[in-house]
Every structure is written in structure tokens, then in C-alpha cells.
Amino acid sequence: MTDEPYRWLEAIANRREYIRDQLKGASPVFAFSRPEGILLCGVGVGQSKVFEVYDRHALVTLGHPVDIEKVRQTLIEAAHLEGFTRAPEDVTLRRLLSASLGPLLKNAFEQIFAAPLLIELILAEVGRTPDQDVLVRVGYDGTPRFIKNSIVVAHTNATDEQAAVDWLSAQVQPNAALKDVGRLALRAEGALMSGKPFASPPTEPNPIAKERVIEMAILERIEPNRVHYRSLDASTIS
């Protein structure tokens, strides 16, 4: 009986290693808080990475398609229930994380006799001003990190992820057009996927990305209607 806690810790460690191994090679995703709104970018192969969640909320993610869909449906159902029982303005990422998504991911990760959810994600909530935007980096174990920086990257390697954030923070200008921000995201994606250092990332997007689907969407800040989510034509940046 005294060995049980140690066996559980060993199982959790093995679980982390398994998830990271399964996610290895997945294309990173990006979120940028901009004057126009929150820009979301991802590159996929036969599967979507960028999703609308609710009026002011969106999701960009990498992982297994089935697990992505499970998380997406969980968030949508929780957001609509919250909006129905309270008011659409009361739907916030903090409530969705604490009451719905966080417990789902945490339970899936810690139940060592069931399959874990293979997913890494960024959640976005657009505000009236960039200072009111909410960007959250959520790991496969349900741990959220509320990001104060205006740039968020989700990747399978934490060190490379931070390197991408640092490089993008230095490259993205405050008044840059959305298409220019999108191009920088593709350059960062190319560096991450090729394993090249960010001291000199490729001047062109990842060549492999030309065979993939580039997804871009924006949660618009200035919009008279309630729905803020709008898909963008990625061909303008490729």
C-alpha cells in the first residue's frame, strides 16, 4: 500500500512523456492582440485549427482531431449554457476554464487507466480595447496561463515556444497590418517546424506549409453586431 503514491507519480510522469511524444511534430498555433482585434493563425493538414466558440471567444489549437473536437464542443456547450442562464456578456474565459474546460482536461490527464486528451491550445476573448483582451495558454493537463503579452504561441516544446514569442515580440510592430503579422507567424512556424534558431529564422514561410491549409481568423474589436468572429483569406499573406 505504501508504494501506491509512488506508482501513481510514475504513471503520471509516463503519461506526460507519452503525450509529448504523440504531439511531437504538430504545427504550432498563434494568437496576436492587435488594434483591430485578436488575430488567430494556424497551419493544418486536413483538419481545422481555428474555431469560433462564442460571441467574443475563439480557440486555436493543435493535437488529435477527435480530442480537438471534444474540447471545442465542451467549450461551445458551456458558453451557450452560461449565456442562456445568465447573459451573453457574463460569458468569460475564466468561468469557462474553471467550470468546464479545466476540469475536463485535468480529469482526462490524471485518469491513468483512460486515454488522455492529446491537445495544446490558446483561448482568446476580445475586449473593447487591447488592454481588455484575454489570452490564455492552456496545456494538455488543464493548467492555464493568462498571458499579459500581446502574443501567444502554442507549441510542443516549451523552450522553442518561448523563443518564438520573444522573436515575434521583437518583429511585430504596433501599427503592422494584419497580413504582415500573419506572414511573421508563418515565418515563426517555419522556424519551429524546421528546428532552425530564431536568431536567423527563414525569410520565407515553411516550405511544407505550401502543401498545408493556412487558417486565419479575427475576433473583431469594432463590430456593431454581437458576433465578432470572422475568417480571413489566408491567400493574402502566403
For 92-123, the pLDDT digits (tens) are 999 999 999 999 999 999 988 888 999 999 99
Which letter does DSSP use for residue 211 in this model?
A: G
Strand 213-220 with 37-44, pairing? antiparallel
Number of neighbouring beta carbons within 10 Å of residue 158: 10
Query: Which domains occur in the chain, in start order?
Result: 4-236 (3.60.20.10)
73 φ, ψ (degrees, to nearest 5): -65, -40
Distances (CA, A) of 189 to 29, 103, 106: 8, 30, 28
CB 142 within 8 A of CB 105: yes
Q: State the pLDDT at residue 233.
A: 85
Q: Judging by beta carbons within 10 Å of its beta carbon (0-12, 13-18, 19+), is residue 128 exposed, middle or buried?
A: exposed
Q: State the pLDDT at residue 81.
A: 92
Q: Which three cell numbers stand for residue 175?
A: 501599427
**In the predicted structure, residue 45 carries a pLDDT above the cut 90:** no
Average predicted confidence (pLDDT) for the chain: 88
Q: Judging by beta carbons within 10 Å of its beta carbon (0-12, 13-18, 19+), is residue 12 exposed, middle or buried?
A: middle
What element of type H or E holds 229?
strand 229-232
Higher pLDDT, 202 or 149: 149
**In the predicted structure, residue 2 carries a pLDDT above the cut 60:** no
149 φ, ψ (degrees, to nearest 5): -65, 155
CB 82 within 8 A of CB 98: no
pLDDT tens digit sequence for 25-43: 899 999 999 999 999 999 8
**In the predicted structure, residue 1 carries a pLDDT above the cut 50:** no
Q: State the pLDDT at residue 197.
A: 78
Three-state secondary-structure class, residue 152: strand
pLDDT tens digit sequence for 145-196: 999 889 999 999 999 999 999 999 999 998 899 999 999 999 999 899 888 8
